[in-house]
Chain A
Amino acid sequence: MSLQLLVNALVNAALIAPPAMAFSLLFGILRFPNFAIGAYITVGAFAAYSLNVSLGLPLVVASGGAMIITAVVVWLTHVVVFRPMQDQSPVTLLVVSIAAAFIIENVIRLFYSADVRGFNIPLERPWKFMDARITREQVEIIIFSGLIAVGLHFLLAHTRIGRAMRAVADNPMLAAIRGVNATWITAFTTALCGLLFGLTGVFAGLDLVIEPLVGWNLTIPIFAAAILGGIGSPYGAMVGAILVGLAEEATFLIIPSTYKVGVGFAIIAVLLLVRPQGLFGTLEIKK
């Protein structure tokens, strides 16, 4: 029983860790909480579904295609909606990102009905490991999520473009003076985050179901993970994801599961009150 709980928590964490890291990266560069991430994840799930089920491509190819499609959507949204509005306050941009999410999600609803769908993959019996059950897809999600974390760490710590990304996030003006091309870095970051949201869409399609609200339902846990870890800190987001995963599973033992959404919010609220900068963030100096 308790082992199963840990397994579930780990799968949960693996699902929300990549988008939480992507959300953190996006926040670092764009400086507003982007509520459209749920819609991006939905785009990934439906793009993969169309390539996989409607066109009959193998899931690996479909996933790659879905990631590229999502990256294009994220970048386009940035160029068409957010970039022309960068002088607005973060809160206005937050509302605009919700409007963007409404548009994206409902365009999907226009073309696909609200039915629940799944990928075209063979059903397999879950593996049993002591008393816990885990499916093959869940193991793959955990492995890929771990690889992404390592890859992102390598990118941010050891490559030229990673350093430039951190520089722009830290102080855009100073980065510009030192010759970092902020436009190109922003485009690269949005596209990279788009790839991660697209992959999360595929994961969500594997582990949950494919429906227009699949991303929206993940938004709050993702926010909780990113804030818990300290917004703007990708490593923190990873740890945050594991803690949120554990907390969501553990609360089933104490309160009815109907309050699950409330758990994410409660974590955020308590943490923000006790430690506003998150577990691994540094306190921002105001003005």
Chain B
Amino acid sequence: MSAYLISMGTYIGFFMILALALNLQWGITGMVNFGVAGFYALGAYASGLLTTKLGVPVGLAIPAACLVGMLVGGCVALLSMRLREDFLAIVTLGVGEVIRLIVLNEDRITEGPRGLRIEAQPFRDFVSAENYPLFYLFFVAVFVCLTFFVCERIRKSPMGRTLRAIREDDVVAGVLGKNVLRHRIQIFAVGTFFMGLAGALYAHYTQNISPEVFLPMVAMFIWMSVIVGGAGNNRGILIGAGAVMVFLEGTRFIGDFVDILDAEKMSALRIIMIGLLLIVTLRIRPRGLLPETKFQFKPN
């Protein structure tokens, strides 16, 4: 049971990093990214392949995975030059799917559907086997805190103000002399940097990654985390990611009490619950559980 909770906590950590990254892109800057699952996969496979195929130490492979995410994200962000937000949604979804298809089909390198086994784990020699899951939970928690700290700094900085201005009206921001395209590319790349980080942490945690984990469904869960938590509010995002993960995993326990449903029906029921969570939350709290505090001018 406690092993289960530790593992669930670790997964909540991955979700939190992904959701914070998406919040930078969409919640603060208004850039749509439905390819979250693809960037997650990119980080996981970058780190996994570097350690298994090239023998790069984990300490270098994880930052490298972040950089790969950042570079690819920067290129994708160039598309925002010409695309309306709902169209960018479809194109980024396509980018995510194409990344997954490449991983699935180029199995000479990625092992495809068989799954890639990864031996390397960070600080493996310093921690005993039975304590390692707990250690990894703290390891991930440190990265969640770092990500949260960076996201909060960006949000409160002058750059954060510019980003919110771009979100509200990019023409006005441009007229005021802000370089809209440069800001968009920068923040998108920072977001995908963290998505790559989440992927790498996930890869070295499960030690076995396969393309079926990175279905567009994952992107939807992250989006729901951001919308349920409250787009634009980093604290809300942490709550949203936790809530979605608890709904997703916690509903497994219902199966222990209810015998009439088989595994197939239980998994259907869990996804129904997640859908309901989003719709009901939005009906009751249209701006999410913890809405973004609107900046108000207070004269002295």
Which residues of A line the B interface, CB within 8 A?
Answer: 32-33, 81, 84-85, 87-88, 90-92, 94-96, 98-100, 102-103, 106-107, 109-110, 113-114, 220, 223, 227, 256, 258-259, 261-262, 264-266, 268-269, 272-273, 276, 286-287
Closest CB in chain A relative to B173 CB, distance in Å: 14
Is B53's CB within 8 Å of the partner chain A? Answer: no
Complex interface bits, B245-285 against A, C-beta within 8 A gives 1, otherwise 0: 00000000000000000001100110110111011001100
Is B71's CB within 8 Å of the partner chain A? Answer: no
> Once the chains bind, are B283 and A85 in contact (CB under 8 Å)?
yes
Q: Which A residues are CB-close (under 8 A) to B83?
A: 272-273, 276
> Once the chains bind, are A81 and B93 in contact (CB under 8 Å)?
no
> Once the chains bind, are A100 and B279 in contact (CB under 8 Å)?
yes
Which residues of B line the A interface, CB within 8 A?
Answer: 26, 32, 79, 82-87, 89-91, 93-95, 97-98, 101, 104-105, 171, 220, 223-224, 227, 264-265, 268-269, 271-272, 274-276, 278-279, 282-283, 286
- Which B-chain residue is minimally distant from A32 (CB atoms)? B86
Q: Which A residues are CB-close (under 8 A) to B276?
A: 99, 103
Q: Which of A95, A114, A272, A273 lies in contact with B223, CB distance below 8 A?
A: A95
Of the A-B pairs whose beta carbons lie under 8 Å apart in the complex, a sample of 17, sorted by A's number, is: A33-B86, A91-B26, A91-B89, A99-B274, A100-B275, A102-B272, A102-B274, A107-B272, A109-B264, A109-B268, A227-B90, A258-B104, A258-B105, A269-B79, A269-B91, A272-B90, A276-B82
Q: Which of A114, A265, A273 lies in contact with B98, CB distance below 8 A?
A: A265
Q: Which of B26, B94, B220 lies in contact with A266, CB distance below 8 A?
A: B94
Give A262 to B104 CA distance when docked, in angstroms.
Answer: 12
Q: Which of A32, A95, A262, A265 lies in contact with B91, CB distance below 8 A?
A: A265
Q: Which B residues are CB-close (under 8 A) to A107?
A: 268, 272
- Which A-chain residue is minimally distant from B216 (CB atoms)? A98
Q: Which B residues are CB-close (under 8 A) to A84?
A: 283
Q: Which B residues are CB-close (under 8 A) to A223?
A: 90
Give A33 to B82 CA distance when docked, in angstroms.
Answer: 18
- Which A-chain residue is minimally distant from B32 (CB atoms)? A91
> Once the chains bind, are B93 and A265 in contact (CB under 8 Å)?
yes
Q: Which A residues are CB-close (under 8 A) to B269?
A: 106, 110
> Once the chains bind, are A87 and B224 in contact (CB under 8 Å)?
no
> Once the chains bind, are A81 and B279 in contact (CB under 8 Å)?
yes
Known A94-B86, A96-B279, A220-B94; 16 more pairs at CB < 8 Å: A32-B86, A84-B283, A88-B282, A91-B89, A94-B89, A99-B275, A100-B275, A107-B272, A110-B272, A261-B101, A262-B98, A272-B90, A272-B91, A273-B79, A273-B82, A286-B171
Q: Which B residues are CB-close (under 8 A) to A265?
A: 90-91, 93-95, 97-98
Q: A99-B274, A256-B105, A276-B87 are in contact. Are A262 and B264 (CB under 8 A)?
A: no
Q: Which of B87, B220, B275, B279 lies in contact with A227, CB distance below 8 A?
A: B87
Give A107 to B85 CA distance when docked, in angstroms.
Answer: 31
7 smallest A-B Cβ distances: which pairs?
A265-B94, A109-B268, A103-B275, A99-B275, A106-B268, A102-B275, A99-B278
Give A87 to B278 CA distance when docked, in angstroms.
Answer: 16
> Once the chains bind, are B105 and A259 in contact (CB under 8 Å)?
yes
Give A47 to B85 CA distance when docked, in angstroms.
Answer: 35
Q: Which B residues are CB-close (under 8 A) to A227?
A: 87, 90
Give A52 to B98 CA distance when docked, in angstroms.
Answer: 38
- Which A-chain residue is minimally distant from B261 (CB atoms)? A110
- Which B-chain residue is minimally distant from A268 (CB atoms)? B90
Give A262 to B94 CA distance when docked, in angstroms.
Answer: 7
> Once the chains bind, are A259 and B89 in contact (CB under 8 Å)?
no
Give A227 to B90 CA distance when docked, in angstroms.
Answer: 10
Give A268 to B105 CA distance when docked, in angstroms.
Answer: 22
- Which B-chain residue is minimally distant from A223 (CB atoms)? B90
Q: A99-B274, A259-B101, A276-B83 are in contact. Are A269 and B94 (CB under 8 A)?
A: yes
Closest CB in chain B relative to A265 CB, distance in Å: 3
- Which B-chain residue is minimally distant from A273 (CB atoms)? B82
> Once the chains bind, are B282 and A85 in contact (CB under 8 Å)?
yes
- Which B-chain residue is minimally distant from A95 (CB atoms)? B223
Q: Which A residues are CB-close (under 8 A) to B286?
A: 85, 87-88
Q: Which B residues are CB-close (under 8 A) to A100?
A: 275, 279
Closest CB in chain A relative to B136 CB, distance in Å: 30
Give A113 to B264 CA distance when docked, in angstroms.
Answer: 8
> Once the chains bind, are A268 and B94 in contact (CB under 8 Å)?
yes
Q: Which A residues are CB-close (under 8 A) to B98?
A: 262, 265-266
Give A276 to B86 CA distance when docked, in angstroms.
Answer: 12
